[in-house]
C-alpha cells in the first residue's frame, strides 16, 4: 500500500523537482526578465480571475438546481457538463470557433451586432470558462447534494424563504467545497492552453496568456520556457496554498461560531 | 466500495490497459525506422515511406511529425531517432555542431504565399492589399514561418515604404505557433488573410485561395535532412536519406508543391 502510494507521489513530484533543479534561481530571474513575461502574467491573472468569477456566478445557481432536481434529465445534464474535461482542449477550441467564430453558428449574429470575440481577450475568457467550469460544477453539485436535507427542512419549517434558505443555510454549509472547486477551476483556467490557442490566437498583451507565452518561448529557447514555467508553478502554488489556508480558517471560525 | 471489489476493478482495468502499455516496447525491435519530420512534411513523407517500404518489405517506417523545434528538443534529450528532417536550418545546424547528425543536406524548398478564404471578404488581389486586411493571421516570429513572414515584411518595407509595412503589421491579429494553425484560422474564416507555405495551402484547395508574394520580396524556405550519428539503424537511415534526395524522391516532393533541390540547382 505504502509502496504504491509512494510511487505515485514520486511520479507526480519528480517532474517539478527536475524543472526546479535544471533551472534554479537564475532561471527564474531570467524568466522575469523575458519580454513576454509581464504582459502574459497580467493577462493570465486578469482572464483567469474573470473566468472563475463567471463560473462561480453562473455555476452556483445551476449546481443548486441540478443537485435538488428530481427531473431525470438533470443527471444527463450533469454528465454533459463534464464533457469539456474529456475532450482535448484544442478540439474544445475548434468547437468554440464553430459556435462563436465569425463563420460559426452564432458568429454571424454576433458580428451583425457589431461584436466578434475573435482574437480578443474575451475569447481567452470564453475558452477558460469552457474548459474549467466542469471542475467547479462537479464540486458544487456534490456539495449541495451532500447537504443534510433535514437542516433545509427545518429552515423551511421556520419560515425561511427559498433565497434565504440558499444564502443563509446552503451556501455557508457548502462553502468549503465551493471554494475548493473554485480553486481547481482557477488552476485549470490559469493553465489553459489548447482551447485558447485555437479560439483566441496568440498575440502579446491581448490573447497570449502565460502558457501560450511559455510555448512561444519554447520555440526560442528551452531555458526561457523553463523559467516561465517555474514562474507559473510558483505562482499557482502560492495561490492554491493561500486558498487552502483561507478555507481552513473559514472552517475553524465556523466551528468555533457554532458550538 | 470494499477492498476486494476495488482490487477486482483494478485488475480488470490493468488487463484492459496491457495492450496499450506494450506498444512502445515494440518500437525498439529491428525492422522499424524512426523518422522525425517537420509538421509540414506529413503528407509528402508518408508517400516517401510507401516507396521505402516497397524497397524494404520487412520494414516499417515510424514517424513523429511536430514542429522542428519540438523535434530538436526531443533529439537533444536523447530520443532514439534514425532520421531528422527539419523545416529550417535554425534547428538543424545546432544538432550538426553538436555532432548529433551526419552531413545535413537540403532536399526541398518551399515558398511562402498569401492565403485568403474562398469568399475573400477583404478582397485581397495582390500582396499590397494586405494593408487593408482587417484580420491578418501570421506565424509567431519564433517559429520558421513567422520568421520568414517577418523577413518578407522587412523587404516590403524597403520596397513599398514604411507606412505600408506599419499598416500591415497593425493588421496582424494573431501570431500562431505553427503554419497549420495559420491555415486553419484562414480556412475557417477567422482570419481574412494569412501567410503560409505553398504546400500547406495546397492541402486545402476547396477552402483557401493562393495569392503569390512578389519574388523580389519573398524568401525561400530550405528543408534539410540528415541521418542521426547514433541512429539505431544506421544503414537504413542512410538509405532513407538517399531516397529522399533521389530523383524518385524529388518527384514526390514536386507533386506536393515543393521546390526540389534539383530544380534549384538548374536555375
The pLDDT score that the predictor gives to residue B20 is 46
pLDDT of B15 reads 45
What are the residue ranges spanned by the domains of chain B? 18-110+222-266, 112-211
Instruction: Please check whether residue A105 touches B, CB under 8 A.
Output: no
C-alpha cell at A207: 490573447
Q: State the CATH class of domain A48-257.
A: mainly alpha
* H or E element that contains B208: strand B208-211
Residue A159: pLDDT band with limits 50, 70, 90: confident
Cross-strand pairs, B196: B113
Residues A234-250: tens digit of each pLDDT:
888 888 888 778 777 76
Residue A254: per-residue pLDDT: 61
- More reliable by pLDDT, A188 or A163: A188
Q: What is the pLDDT of residue B100?
A: 94
A102/B173 Cβ within 8 A: no
> Residues of A176-187 as b/e, b for ≥16 C-beta within 10 angstroms?
bbbbbbbbbbbb
Q: Closest chain A residue to B137 measured between Cα atoms?
A: A201
* Measured distance CA(B56)–CA(B236) in Å, rounded: 9
The architecture that CATH gives domain B112-211 is 3-Layer(aba) Sandwich (3.40)
Q: Is there a contact between B69 and A202 if contact means CB atoms under 8 Å apart?
A: no
Q: Where are the domains of chain A?
A: 48-257
Mean pLDDT for the stretch of residues A6-35? 82
pLDDT (tens digit per residue) in B84-121:
999 889 889 999 999 999 999 999 999 999 999 999 98
Sign of the CA dihedral with A201 first, then A203, A209, and A212 last: positive
* CA closest to A117 among chain B residues: B190
pLDDT in the model for residue B8: 54
> Which pLDDT tens digit goes with each residue over A59-88?
999 999 998 888 888 888 988 999 998 899
Out of A118, A200, A219, whose CB is closest to B135? A118
**Two domains, one topology: B18-110+222-266 and B112-211:** yes
Q: Tell me the average pLDDT of chain B.
A: 86
CATH number of B18-110+222-266, picked from 3.30.565.10, 3.20.20.140, 3.40.190.10, 1.10.3720.10: 3.40.190.10
Collapsing DSSP states into helix, strand and coil, what is residue A58?
A: helix
**pLDDT: which is higher, A153 or A23:** A153
Q: Is B189 touching A (CB cutoff 8 A)?
A: yes
pLDDT for residue A102: 83
Q: Is the dihedral of CA B202, B258, B152, A193 positive or negative?
A: positive
Model confidence pLDDT, tens digit, residues B18-50: 444 444 433 434 588 999 999 889 889 999 999
Q: How confident is the model at residue B4 (pLDDT cuts 50, 70, 90)?
A: low
Please give the pLDDT value at position B5: 55
The DSSP code for B41 is: G
**Helix (H/G/I), strand (E/B), else coil: B209:** strand
Contact A170, A64 (CB under 8 A): yes
**How high does pLDDT run on average in chain A?**
86
Residue-wise pLDDT for B51-72, tens only, equals: 999 999 889 999 999 888 889 9
Which residues contact residue A159 at a Cβ distance below 8 angstroms, ignoring those fewer than 6 apart?
none
For the sheet containing B172-176, what is the strand order?
Answer: B172-176, B136-139, B193-197, B112-117, B208-211
The proportion of chain B whose per-residue pLDDT surpasses 90, expressed as a percent, equals 67
| Distance in angstroms (rounded) separating the CA atoms of residues B237 and B107 | 15
Phi, psi values for residue B65, rounded to 5°: -100, 125
* pLDDT at position A251 over 70: no
Beta bridge partners of B226: B84
ipTM over 0.85: no
**In chain A, what residues touch B142 (CB-CB under 8 Å)?**
216-217, 219-220
B203 touches chain A (CB under 8 A): no
Find, among A196, A217, A204, A187, the residue nearest to A90 by Cα: A196
Amino acid at each position: 500500500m505504502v509502496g504504491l502510494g509512494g510511487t505515485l507521489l514520486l511520479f507526480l513530484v519528480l517532474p517539478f523537482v527536475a524543472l526546479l533543479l535544471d533551472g534554479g534561481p537564475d532561471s527564474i530571474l531570467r524568466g522575469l526578465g523575458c519580454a513576454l513575461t509581464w504582459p502574459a502574467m497580467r493577462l493570465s491573472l486578469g482572464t483567469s480571475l474573470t473566468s472563475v468569477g463567471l463560473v462561480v456566478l453562473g455555476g452556483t445557481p445551476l449546481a443548486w438546481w441540478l443537485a435538488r432536481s428530481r427531473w431525470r434529465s438533470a443527471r444527463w445534464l450533469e454528465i454533459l457538463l463534464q464533457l469539456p474535461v474529456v475532450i482535448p482542449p484544442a478540439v474544445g477550441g475548434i468547437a468554440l470557433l464553430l459556435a462563436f467564430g465569425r463563420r460559426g453558428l452564432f458568429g454571424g449574429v454576433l458580428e451583425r451586432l457589431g461584436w466578434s470575440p475573435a482574437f480578443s481577450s474575451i475569447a481567452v475568457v470564453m475558452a477558460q470558462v469552457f474548459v474549467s467550469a466542469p471542475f467547479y460544477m462537479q464540486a458544487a453539485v456534490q456539495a449541495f447534494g451532500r447537504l443534510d436535507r433535514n437542516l433545509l427542512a427545518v429552515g423551511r419549517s421556520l419560515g425561511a424563504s427559498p433565497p434565504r434558505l440558499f444564502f443563509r443555510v446552503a451556501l455557508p454549509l457548502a462553502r468549503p467545497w465551493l471554494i475548493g472547486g473554485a480553486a481547481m477551476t482557477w488552476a485549470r483556467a490559469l493553465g489553459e492552453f489548447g482551447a485558447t490557442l485555437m479560439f483566441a490566437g496568440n498575440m502579446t498583451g491581448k490573447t497570449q496568456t502565460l502558457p501560450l507565452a511559455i510555448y512561444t518561448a519554447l520555440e526560442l529557447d528551452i531555458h526561457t520556457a523553463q523559467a516561465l514555467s517555474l514562474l507559473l508553478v510558483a505562482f499557482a502554488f502560492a495561490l492554491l496554498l493561500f486558498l487552502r489556508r483561507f478555507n481552513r480558517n473559514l472552517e475553524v471560525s465556523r466551528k468555533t461560531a457554532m458550538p | 466500495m470494499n477492498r476486494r471489489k476495488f482490487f477486482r476493478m483494478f485488475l480488470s482495468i490493468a488487463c484492459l490497459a496491457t495492450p496499450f502499455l506494450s506498444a512502445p516496447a515494440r518500437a525498439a525491435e529491428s525492422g522499424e525506422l524512426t523518422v522525425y519530420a517537420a509538421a509540414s512534411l506529413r503528407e509528402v513523407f508518408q508517400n516517401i515511406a510507401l516507396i521505402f517500404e516497397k524497397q524494404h518489405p520487412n520494414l516499417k517506417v515510424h514517424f513523429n511529425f511536430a514542429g522542428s523545434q519540438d523535434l530538436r528538443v526531443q533529439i537533444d534529450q536523447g530520443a532514439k531517432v534514425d532520421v531528422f528532417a527539419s523545416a529550417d536550418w535554425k534547428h538543424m545546424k545546432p544538432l550538426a555542431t553538436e555532432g548529433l547528425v551526419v552531413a545535413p543536406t537540403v532536399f526541398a524548398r518551399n515558398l511562402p504565399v498569401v492565403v485568403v478564404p474562398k469568399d475573400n471578404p477583404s478582397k485581397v488581389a495582390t500582396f499590397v492589399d494586405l494593408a487593408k486586411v482587417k484580420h491578418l493571421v501570421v506565424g509567431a516570429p519564433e517559429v520558421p514561418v513567422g520568421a520568414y513572414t517577418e523577413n518578407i515584411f522587412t523587404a516590403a518595407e524597403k520596397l513599398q515604404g514604411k507606412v505600408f509595412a506599419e499598416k500591415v503589421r497593425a493588421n496582424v491579429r494573431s501570431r500562431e505557433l505553427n503554419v497549420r494553425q495559420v491555415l486553419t484560422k484562414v480556412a475557417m474564416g477567422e482570419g481574412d488573410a494569412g501567410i503560409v507555405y505553398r504546400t500547406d495551402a495546397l492541402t486545402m484547395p476547396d477552402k483557401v485561395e493562393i495569392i503569390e508574394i512578389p519574388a523580389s520580396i519573398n524568401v525561400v524556405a530550405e528543408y534539410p535532412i540528415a541521418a542521426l550519428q547514433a541512429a539505431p539503424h544506421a544503414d537504413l537511415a542512410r538509405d532513407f536519406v538517399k531516397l529522399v534526395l533521389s530523383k524518385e524522391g524529388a518527384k514526390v516532393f514536386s507533386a506536393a508543391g515543393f521546390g526540389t533541390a534539383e530544380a534549384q540547382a538548374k536555375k
